[in-house]
Structure 1
Amino acid sequence: MRRDIQPNERAFSSKEVAEEVGIATPTVRKYGQILERNGYEFLKDGDRRIFVQSDIAALIALRDTDKPLDDTAKDLVSQQKEKLAQPSGSEVAITDTYDQLPQDPNQLKEALMFVFNELAAAREMNVQLKSDMALLKQSVSRLQQDHHAISSTISNSAQKTNVKIEKLTEKQNAYYEALLEQEKQKSEELQKEIQSIREEQKEEWNSQNDFNRRLEEAIQRPQGKWSALFSLFRK
C-alpha cells in the first residue's frame, strides 16, 4: 500500500502525463508496464493507473536513462521501497484531517461542492472517453468494411480482366489459325497452278521438238522435198 501520497495531491491521467513528460500516451503505458513488472506500485482505479508527481518523476527517469529500461526501473523500485519503509505521519495526518474539517457550514458546503465538482468532472471525462471509444470502434468497423469492399472490388476486377484476356487470346488464336489456313490454301492453289504451267510448257516443248524433228527429216529427203515440207504445215 502506498503511503507516499500527500494529502490533496493532484492526480494525473495518462494523457496529462504524456503531455507533462513529453512522450506519447502509448509510451506512458509501456513505461508503466516496465515499472510494474519490476515491482513498482501505482495507485489504481480498477485497471487504470492514476499518476502522481513521484510517478511522473519515475517516468522522466526512464525517458532520460542511458541504461536498459529494466535496470533503471529496478533502481526506481528500490527508491520507492525505501520511501515506503520510512516512518510516515500520513496516518496521523489522515486523523488530523478529520479533526481539521471546517466547522463553518458554509466552508463545509464549499468543500463538499468542490468534491462534487471533481466527481462530476471525472464522470464527464468517463462519458467522453466512452463516446470516443464508441466513435473509434465505429471508425475501425467502417475501415474494415471499406477494406473488405476494396478487396472484393479488386478481386472482381482482376477476375473480369482475366476473363477478358482469355477471350481476347482465344479470338486472337482463332484469327491466326484462320489466317494460316487461308495461307495454306493459297499455297496449295499456287502449287497447282505452277504444276499446270509446267505441264503445259512440257507439252509445248515436246510438240516443238516433234515439229523440228519432222521438219529436219523432210528437208533431208532427196525427192519431193518441197511437197513433204508443205505437208508439215498442213498437219
Structure 2
Amino acid sequence: MENSTLDQEKAYWTREVAELLDIKEGTVRKYARLMEENGYNFHRNEHDQRGFFERDILLMKRIKALSKTKGVTLEDAVNTVTKGVMVAERDSITPAVMNLQEELERSIERHKQTMEAFIQLKNENTEMKELLMNLSEQMKQQQTYIENSLEKRDQVLLESIQKTLEQRREEENTGWFKKLFKSK
C-alpha cells in the first residue's frame, strides 16, 4: 500500500468499524487476525494499533456476508476475500472497483432471485385463489343438491305417510260399513 494515499484517507479504529458493520469489536479483531494470517496488511500506528481504511471495511463487510452463506466457514470467507484482493493487486485492478462490481453483481443476482420467488409466489397465489373459488362453487352446488334432495325426500315421505293414513281411514270406514251391513 502506498503511504501517500493512506495518509490522505481517514482511518477508523476497531470500535468504529464494529459500529459500522454492526458486529462486536472482538469480531473485528478476529477478522483482522485471520486476514493477516492470509497475507493481508493493515495500517498500524506507532503503538502498533490497526487503523482501518474504507477498503478494509469493505473487505470485512464482504467477509461478514460470505460467512453467513450456508456451508461457508469464516475461514473460507476470509480466504476467498483476501485471495481476491491479492489477485486484484497482482493484476493492478483496484480492489474497491472489484468489490463494487462484485457487490453489484451479487445484488443483481439477489434481486433476480427475489423477483423470481415473488413471481412464483404470485402465480401460486393466483392458482390458490382459483382453486378456492372452484372449491367454493362446488361446495355451494353440493349444498344446493343436498338441500333439494332432502326436500324431495321429505316430500315423498310426507306423501307416503298421508297415503298410508288415508288407506287406513278408508279401511276403517269400509270395515265399519261392512260390519254394519253384515249384521243386518
What TM-score range do you get, normalising by the shorter chain? Answer: 0.5 to 0.7
1:173 and 1:163 mapped to 2: Cα distance? Answer: 15
Aligned Cα RMSD in Å? 4.0
User: Residues 148, 177 of structure 1: CA spacing in aligned structure 2 closer, same or farther, 3 A cutoff?
Assistant: same
CA deviation vs aligned residue, 1:82-118 (integer Å, no higher than 9, x gap): xxxxxxxxxxxxxxxxxxxxxxxxxxxxxxxxxxxxx
User: Residues 190, 162 of structure 1: CA spacing in aligned structure 2 closer, same or farther, 3 A cutoff?
Assistant: same
Q: CA deviation at 1:129?
A: 1.7
Alignment partner of 1:22 is 2:14: yes
What's the counterpart of residue 167 of structure 1? Answer: 134
What's the counterpart of residue 33 of structure 2? Answer: none
The TM-score with structure 2 as length reference comes to 0.53
CA deviation vs aligned residue, 1:37-69 (integer Å, no higher than 9, x gap): xxxxxxxxxxxxxx9959x99x9xxxxxxxxxx
1:210 and 1:183 mapped to 2: Cα distance? Answer: 40
Highest CA radius of gyration, 1 or 2? 1
What's the counterpart of residue 158 of structure 1? Answer: 125
The answer for unaligned runs of 5 or more in structure 2 is 22-42, 52-88
1:211 and 1:188 mapped to 2: Cα distance? Answer: 34
What's the counterpart of residue 149 of structure 1? Answer: 116
2:128 and 2:121 mapped to 1: Cα distance? Answer: 10
Equivalent positions of 1:185-200 (< 5 A) are 185-200=152-167
Percent identity over the alignment is 10
2:101 and 2:5 mapped to 1: Cα distance? Answer: 29
1:206 and 1:13 mapped to 2: Cα distance? Answer: 124
What's the counterpart of residue 29 of structure 2? Answer: none
Give the match's secondary structure for 1:202.
Answer: helix
Report the residue type matching 1:11 in the other structure. Answer: L
Report the residue type matching 1:156 in the other structure. Answer: N
Q: CA deviation at 1:163?
A: 0.7
Paired residues in the alignment total 124
1:26 and 1:14 mapped to 2: Cα distance? Answer: 19
1:163 and 1:214 mapped to 2: Cα distance? Answer: 75
User: Residues 127, 204 of structure 1: CA spacing in aligned structure 2 closer, same or farther, 3 A cutoff?
Assistant: same
User: Residues 181, 14 of structure 1: CA spacing in aligned structure 2 closer, same or farther, 3 A cutoff?
Assistant: farther
User: Residues 160, 13 of structure 1: CA spacing in aligned structure 2 closer, same or farther, 3 A cutoff?
Assistant: farther
Q: CA deviation at 1:173?
A: 1.4
Q: CA deviation at 1:146?
A: 1.1
Equivalent positions of 1:55-66 (< 5 A) are none
Q: CA deviation at 1:134?
A: 0.6
1:180 and 1:10 mapped to 2: Cα distance? Answer: 87
What's the counterpart of residue 208 of structure 1? Answer: 175
User: Residues 13, 191 of structure 1: CA spacing in aligned structure 2 closer, same or farther, 3 A cutoff?
Assistant: farther
Q: CA deviation at 1:23?
A: 3.5
User: Residues 22, 14 of structure 1: CA spacing in aligned structure 2 closer, same or farther, 3 A cutoff?
Assistant: farther
Give the match's secondary structure for 2:6.
Answer: coil
What's the counterpart of residue 177 of structure 1? Answer: 144
